[in-house]
Amino acid sequence: METIKTSEKNSLALINDKSPVLDFICKDLVASGIKILFRSENVDDGLIRLSALQEAPQVCIIDLNFNNENMLAQLRVLKSKYPTIKLIVHNDKDDKQIVIPLLEIGIESYLLIGSDADDFKKAIENVTNGKRYFSMGVSKIVQNYFKHF
């Protein structure tokens, strides 16, 4: 586990494989006062960039192909090295084969494609205040998952 301090102000990192949708959302987030510390295209690069920071972001938004087992392993590494960073997943899949492994890793939020900047702001506000936030399309999967705890 890395020992860098977590930023006090709303700050985030973005790991995505060039989603034009997130480009527009990021502009809205910046306009609302959220600081984007960096953007990277994959988890490995994100880990390198995180290790170079003196203060970790509060939130990391991740929009990648989660069908890939290697991707899940990389996210496990990210979460274990930086457990204080809240993970928000942005994806088009509302399938439990995707959602449950991400919940097991410890994500705090899952937003489906189609979520707008306001949804992202709500998710960021919730996760930075110790809550979770999920799109309606995955809420049933999430509720069933957490029933067992």
Structure tokens at 1: 């586990």
Q: pLDDT tens digits for 98-119?
A: 999 999 999 999 999 999 999 9
pLDDT at 7: 47
DSSP string, 75-92: HHHHHHH-TTSEEEEEES
How far apart, in whole angstroms, are the C-alpha atoms of residue 8 and residue 19? Answer: 27
Q: What is the mean pLDDT of residues 84-97?
A: 94
* pLDDT, position 31: 93
Mean pLDDT over the full length of the chain? 89
Mean pLDDT across the stretch 8-25? Answer: 81
- Region 68-93: mean pLDDT is 92
CB under 8 A, 24+ apart: contacts of 94-97: 94/135, 94/137, 94/138, 94/141, 96/141
30 alpha-carbon distance from chain centroid = 16
* Domains of the chain listed by start with CATH number: 13-131 (3.40.50.2300)
